[in-house]
Structure 1
Amino acid sequence: MIAPQTPDTVLQTATPAPQHLSPSSEAGTKSPQDSTTPSQNLITPQRQNLTTQPQQNCHSPLTRSYKLIEFRGITLPFLKQYRIGFPALDRRFRRQMAQTQLDIVHAHDPFMAGHEAIRVARRQGIPVVGTFHSKYSDDFQQVTHSKTLARWGVHFIVSFYTKCDQVWTVSNSAADVLRAYGYKGAIEVVENGTDRIEADPEIVRMVSECYGLGELPVLLFVGQMNWKKNVRRILEAVKILVEQGRALKLVLAGQGPSEPEIRALAAAMGLGKLVVFTGHVSDPQVLHGLYARANLLVFPSLYDTAGLVVSEAAALGTPALLVAGSSAAEAVKDGENGFLAKDTPQDLAERIAWALEHPDRLREIGQAARMSIPRPWKDVVAGVLDRYEELIASYESRQR
């Protein structure tokens, strides 16, 4: 949770996101779960940009320095890449919050942190925004192996967002998911930001040496090592390419609960020597180096509600290959600023082969992605601040 140290304040809440690789990546970073202390850091990198960027935006009354108010949490034993917090049981946190006057509350998850956001907002008589990020039904079913429990979980999710004064999603596809869950209210799409980055040749060289990439073409996946990310499809496609006699490296960047099984499958397919598992990468420069070194980001996930890693790769001029119709592919036009394929190993392999056989065109598509896909954080934050101020004014007028 965050709050400016002024009367003009915003509270943001978030349950721990998956362990990530970089300060803006879907695949890794020094986020809450990386901490060895019992305190739960509630600002994940994308949300942190919404709290640090306003300090550079002088036109708004919400441009102040921020403090972090933490509450305690524990690692989930069955999903060790996640932590869950208990704000209602943390007296220090509750005491600090009682002393902090806010103007608006923004919840980034519908669980304990989200319900604490509702409690704080109602107590102070201020509006609350809820952002919907994830296909929770898939998560519930993966953990419980029960469609009935997954349906109950979805009902819980919808009930939370119904209590919010305004609901945002990170993409049009995410809005469709929330509506499919049964949410009937208005939804506003507020995309994540990504700033364009210039590749550092020395970092790229060091990354290439560190991971033994040599001069071979590099395919990159950035995300949780989790079957729900469709990693199996990447391995199947690469096996086809190898059987065709193509030399390449596949870098799987991230960590997650399925990593031992993914490693075992890669070995069983005879891909052990060409697949590089980076594990958790905490240094953003290393991730930037991987993006810049890669010829193509391969991200066939059908689970994700937004293509954040697609934007991050594009910010460094690396195009992405995605499954046509997936949420992550929302900003991609096939053959113009990226590539789209059917969700089959054969089609993925064909698109990868074409990309690697046309390096000049691949670079042109990468540059088109760089110019068309990333949206600078300053633009995102300016829009967010405007929305906050409009909602605050509207809420206050209704209370009079």
Structure 2
Amino acid sequence: MTKTVGDVMKTIGIFNDSFPPIMDGVSLATQNYAYWLNQKKQPVCVITPKSPNYSDNEPYPIYRYTSIPILGRSPYRIGLPEIDPAFQMAIENISFGLVHAHCPFSSGRLALNIARKQKVPFVATFHSKYRDDFEHSVHNKFIAKLMTDGIIRFFEKADEVWIPQASVEETIREYGFKGKVEVVDNGNDFATNLPVAPIKMAARKKLGIADNELMFLFVGQHIWEKNTRLIVETLGEIKDLPFKMFFIGTGYAKAELQELVDKLDLSSKVSFVGVITERDTLKEYYAAADLFLFPSIYDNAPLVVREAGAMQTPSVLVKGSSSAENIVDYYNGFLIEESSRAFAEKLRELFKSPEKIREAGINASQSIARSWESIAEEVLDRYRKLIERKWKR
């Protein structure tokens, strides 16, 4: 099959090192890119490391390669495509029209090599604060900087570099990238035009949330970088109030977080649910919650804030963080200083003002919850234009 100007004919390759059963924001973005491109009849495939004891059941092809676990960062894995001959043979038989890397590691390097070999456009999306991850892993800022420099060299080889929201440009510039970046939003598969109030009421009943209780929610990796300790410490300061808190996800800090919950005598109020891969179940938790607590200053454009907003659940975020871009205090969310005292004061205030929470939730659903289907239309148009430019050259 040949490429034609104005249409994407060959397969689009979506590359990322995390994909279900690993659930994080980038994994979810990768999944939705592939799903909605496939829905729009665009040939697409996903290339990602193998996950043990997991079988794919998607309507598009998924090619997995050999991987090993990353110590201390379960469930994440290091991909080793170069030692997987069966995978290499399968990939060599695919004729790509464009490749899109959502991370700069094993799958990203593979995407770059394929783009060079097949002479097709190479798109790379800058999602994460990689230097923070490196500093946590190697405990040496000099080595972390060298590793970050390598990441920037990777992005410099892309035909286009995308970022999920404007504030992420500050991070990539800080790391030393001098090229052009394109803002391409992430979408939200919970965005709906249907009434949300009945969904919220049913979800609260199912989870056993009393009328006089506030329900708080956190969804994401249970790691210190996301300020999860601050959440628990803040809850310790308001434990006289009637509330329920649910943590969804997993991560290296989960056990210590549970110990802190026990130490602060919060066990009757705080539950650790674990990983939820079923989207309808996760949607119920978002809908049941009054407030989504996400004080992370680590994240770039977190999908979870938009998912909560789609269910009319406003977020509490740290003022000035990348996570808080597009959030106006008391309009479509709530902003705090990065301290347990400020956090606790805000929650106490909102406990007395449920109408402010409801109004912010409605505004969040209208202002930050864009559907993945509309994002896919934009993405496909960008792909077509990039292929056309490459084809002309």
TM interval, shorter chain, is 0.7 to 0.9
Q: Is the 8 A contact 1:207 1:286 kept in 2?
A: no
1:273 aligns with 2:268: yes
State the one-letter code of the partner of 1:77. L
1:185 aligns with 2:179: yes
Could you say which residue in structure 1 is the equivalent of 2:65?
Answer: 71
Could you say which residue in structure 1 is the equivalent of 2:342?
Answer: 347
Alignment of 1:320-359 (within 5 A): 320-359=315-354
CA deviation after TM superposition for structure 1 residue 208, in Å:
0.8
1:168 aligns with 2:151: no
Question: Which of 223, 242, 245 is 1:226 aligned to?
Answer: 223
Question: Which of 295, 310, 315 is 2:290 aligned to?
Answer: 295
Deviations 1:323-368 (A, max 9, x none): 0111111121111111111111111112112222111221111011
Question: Which of 30, 52, 58 is 2:35 aligned to?
Answer: 52
Q: Is the 8 A contact 2:19 2:28 kept in 1?
A: no
State the one-letter code of the partner of 2:106. M
Question: Which of 301, 313, 316 is 2:311 aligned to?
Answer: 316
Deviations 1:210-243 (A, max 9, x none): xxx444211111111111110111122222222x
Deviations 1:74-116 (A, max 9, x none): 2213211201211111111111111111111111111111111
Could you say which residue in structure 1 is the equivalent of 2:392?
Answer: 397
Q: Is the 8 A contact 1:18 1:224 kept in 2?
A: no
State the one-letter code of the partner of 1:208. L
State the one-letter code of the partner of 1:326. S
Could you say which residue in structure 2 is the equivalent of 1:33?
Answer: none
CA gap 1:19/1:356 in 2 versus in 1, 3 angstroms: farther
Counterpart-to-counterpart distance in 2, 1:328 and 1:20: 21
CA deviation after TM superposition for structure 1 residue 272, in Å:
2.1
Q: Is the 8 A contact 1:7 1:102 kept in 2?
A: no
CA gap 1:117/1:368 in 2 versus in 1, 3 angstroms: same
Q: Is the 8 A contact 1:341 1:348 kept in 2?
A: yes
Question: Which of 187, 192, 214 is 1:217 aligned to?
Answer: 214
Q: Is the 8 A contact 2:225 2:296 kept in 1?
A: yes
Counterpart-to-counterpart distance in 2, 1:126 and 1:154: 26
Counterpart-to-counterpart distance in 2, 1:341 and 1:127: 42
Q: Which runs of 5 or more structure 1 residues have no equivalent in the other structure?
A: 1-5, 27-42
1:204 aligns with 2:206: no
State the one-letter code of the partner of 2:30. R
Q: Is the 8 A contact 1:129 1:167 kept in 2?
A: yes
Aligned residue for 1:16, secondary structure, equals: coil
Q: Is the 8 A contact 2:11 2:44 kept in 1?
A: no
State the one-letter code of the partner of 2:207. S
Could you say which residue in structure 2 is the equivalent of 1:31?
Answer: none
Q: Is the 8 A contact 2:22 2:75 kept in 1?
A: no
Counterpart-to-counterpart distance in 2, 1:44 and 1:203: 29
Counterpart-to-counterpart distance in 1, 2:368 and 2:301: 12
Q: Is the 8 A contact 2:101 2:108 kept in 1?
A: yes
Alignment coverage as a number of residue pairs: 367
Counterpart-to-counterpart distance in 1, 2:97 and 2:276: 36
Could you say which residue in structure 1 is the equivalent of 2:188?
Answer: 194
Identity %: 35
Question: Which of 94, 106, 109 is 2:103 aligned to?
Answer: 109
Q: Is the 8 A contact 2:20 2:27 kept in 1?
A: no
State the one-letter code of the partner of 2:129. K
Could you say which residue in structure 2 is the equivalent of 1:10?
Answer: 12
CA deviation after TM superposition for structure 1 residue 288, in Å:
1.0
Question: Which of 365, 383, 392 is 1:388 aligned to?
Answer: 383
Q: Which runs of 5 or more structure 2 residues have no equivalent in the other structure?
A: 1-7, 46-58
1:237 aligns with 2:248: no
Question: Which of 73, 93, 98 is 1:99 aligned to?
Answer: 93
Q: Is the 8 A contact 1:106 1:129 kept in 2?
A: yes
Could you say which residue in structure 2 is the equivalent of 1:29?
Answer: none
Q: Is the 8 A contact 1:230 1:301 kept in 2?
A: yes
1:260 aligns with 2:255: yes
Deviations 1:22-74 (A, max 9, x none): xxx63xxxxxxxxxxxxxxxx9332121122134447xx66897322221212
CA deviation after TM superposition for structure 1 residue 17, in Å:
5.8
Q: Is the 8 A contact 2:134 2:147 kept in 1?
A: yes
1:365 aligns with 2:360: yes
State the one-letter code of the partner of 1:392. I
Aligned residue for 1:250, secondary structure, equals: strand
Counterpart-to-counterpart distance in 2, 1:186 and 1:310: 27
Counterpart-to-counterpart distance in 2, 1:181 and 1:369: 31
Could you say which residue in structure 1 is the equivalent of 2:371?
Answer: 376
Aligned residue for 2:76, secondary structure, equals: strand
Query: How much is the aligned-residue C-alpha RMSD, in angstroms?
Result: 2.2
State the one-letter code of the partner of 2:35. T
Aligned residue for 2:292, secondary structure, equals: strand
Aligned residue for 1:79, secondary structure, equals: coil
Question: Which of 136, 142, 145 is 1:151 aligned to?
Answer: 145
Aligned residue for 2:75, secondary structure, equals: strand
Q: Is the 8 A contact 1:57 1:63 kept in 2?
A: no
State the one-letter code of the partner of 2:173. R
Aligned residue for 2:373, secondary structure, equals: helix
